[in-house]
Amino acid sequence: MLLLLVLLLAGGYAGRVLFVGLRGSAPARALEQCSAVYEREAPAGPQADPRRSAAALARLQECTADVQREMDVFVVAGAAVTLALGLLLMRLLPLLLARRAGPLVPAPPGWSEPAAEAARELGLRRAPEVLRGGLRLREAFAYAHHGRARIVLPPGAAGLPPEQRTALIRHETAHVAAGDITLAWLTRGVRWAVLTVLMVPLLHVLVSALPSTDGAPSLSSLPAILPGLLWKMFTLPFYLDYGLRAVLLLGTAAVVAAALLRRREYEADLRSVHGRPTGGLQALLTDRADSSGRWWHRPFALHPAPARRLAAVRRPDLVLRSSVTGTAAVGLLVGMFLPALEAALPQGPHRLLPWGDQLHTAAVPAGLALAVAWGVPLWTGVLAGRAPGRPPGTRRLLLALPAGLLLGLLAQLWATGLIRTPGPFGLWSTLVTVPVAVAGAAGCSLVLARLRSGGRTAGRMTRRDRLVATAVNLALFTGAFWAGQDTALSFHIFGSSPAGGGWTVWWNGYIAAAMFTGRETVIAAALAVVAFLAWRWSVRGGPGGALHDSPGALRRRRTAAWAPPSSRSQLSRRPSGPLSARSPRAGPFRRPSGPEATARPTVSSTCG
């Protein structure tokens, strides 16, 4: 879902670029005039009247409202066109694949019973229809047709032992039950849609540069002048930056989507054998050859290596653990999502929250996205996936998340043309303060998850656990975004003050801003509640709890509940990473191919 939001916002930015191209320099001149009026009316000097400043800012927002409103229409239109085209392609792409896999015929008798049984066990109201593909089909896949899911198996499935064929059908049914069909095909459709939408501003520039005949562009001269036009356009700094960022966005989307589909393969394997013998699936995976290709093909592979899937079936806790690459990918997407949402949100009197600006408003959905995409899976791995063996590298996770966030802030499409001026996220200092604050929040989240898991046996997360994990991570990461942005703003305002002692002036200004806004009061109160809950979880009774420990162990656990993350890691002998203690706000806060279709089919699915 986070990837889809990033792609839709990219389509919105294409609409914004098209607006500038269609309107020319008129919006820029209007904004300059409004800024000049603001500079004249805004009070200057260290003893400025706050009421005059607020009045000048209100007049500035009123002056720019018409231009901003018209630009917002183009942004919303770009995102809407991207979504509509993506939904259309979501329906069209599987039909094209099914046509290439054809002719499709009903499966032989006995192939539909495993699908019906798996559908009942997995909670599906309607069993998927099982079909057999043509001779060119080598991999099973699933898609939706007229409101009903279809599972298409290759002809080679007829030569499988019954238990392996059942495992193959159950795996595809698990994809259907998990909603992977919609997720996979919608992601593919939106990826192709955003590529098309991002090309529209470039096509407009090319058409505008063509010689006109009777007021209409002359397309007959396009082949002769096209190379020169492309060279001239991409030598301009803005369009060169735009093209590079678009390529980077599409490449990132391809890699992240492939990684997501590979993870869904693991989950479908586990879901298909939950409460059942795993012999058939293990035999099917053992007999399958590795088709991942060379190393540079692996990031784009839609299916994991059979050896990895086999290991996950034997050790399900491996799937629950957070990976370094997955953590970095989440940070990268959030880094692209936060500034894009901030730039797309309404400003001035039409803002969504009564306090703060677009940055503070965008931090709420960004914190929720980070909580759902990284915080809740982390807690799931800690609470439900505890098993013997070495845990994932905590320090690597706490480094990967801010590193991915930093790359996302630098590479996001909405920062096109801003690198040489104020910076890709409004202020250059946010590239330091925001990732560090998020790293500290991640360290706190990890420590709280371990405290929550104390005295529990490994098992599935309950609904209450999931709600607690979501709420805690939402408070931590939203507070981290607010703290990072406010710290950067305070440093920008007070850090260059000619009076005082350098960083002390900045810090005093930050405290003063917190007192006047009241925002940090809310953050501190929320994190105080979190700290109290952490203390309560650390000393609660129950089997294996603090009330059953020795007095020395009880003192150590109480000390660990209030110690900073770095000290707590030494007490628990499970390090939580250096960044959690160093953050300034961490503590308080196959497609069908070839005629060899009679070969053994694979258990992977092109839908996920």
Q: Which residues contact 607 (CB under 8 A, 6 or more apart)?
A: 94, 141, 142, 143, 175, 180, 181, 184, 185
Q: Find tokens 């909670």 and name the residue.
A: 123
> Of 413, 573, 461, whose CA–CA distance to 78 is shortest?
413
Residue 473: how many other CB atoms lie within 10 Å? 27
Q: Highest mean pLDDT: which of 156-170, 413-427, 486-500?
A: 156-170
As a whole number of angstroms, the distance between CA 190 and CA 490 comes to: 39
Q: Measured between alpha carbons, how far apart are the two ends of the chain, in Å?
A: 15
Domains within the chain, CATH numbers bracketed = 104-182+254-311 (3.30.2010.10), 324-577 (no CATH)
Per-residue b or e along 61-94, where b marks 16 or more CB atoms closer than 10 Å to that residue's CB = bebbbebbeebbebbebbbebbbebbeebbeebb
pLDDT of residue 192: 92
Please spell the DSSP secondary structure of 527-568, one letter per residue: HHHHHHHHHHHHH--STTSGGGS-HHHHHHHHHHHHS-HHHH
> Of 433, 444, 436, 585, whose CA–CA distance to 524 is shortest?
585
Q: Give the mean pLDDT of 231-247.
A: 81
Residue 601 token pair: 């089919």
**CA triple 160-161-166, angle to 5 deg:** 90
pLDDT in tens, 512-557: 555 444 455 555 555 556 655 655 555 444 334 433 344 444 344 4
As a whole number of angstroms, the distance between CA 172 and CA 150 comes to: 9
pLDDT in tens, 479-517: 889 888 887 777 766 655 444 444 555 555 555 555 444
**DSSP class of 129:** E
306 near 290, Cβ under 8 Å? Answer: yes
pLDDT of residue 593: 39
Mean pLDDT of the chain: 74
Q: Give the mean pLDDT of 254-283.
A: 86
pLDDT in tens, 73-125: 899 999 999 999 999 999 899 889 888 887 888 888 888 888 898 898 888 88
Phi, psi of 131 (to 5 degrees): -125, 165
Picking from 17-31, 293-307, 563-577, which range would have the lowest pLDDT averaged per residue? 563-577
pLDDT of residue 78: 92
Picking from 12-16, 155-159, 355-359, which range would have the lowest pLDDT averaged per residue? 355-359
141: helix, coil or strand? strand
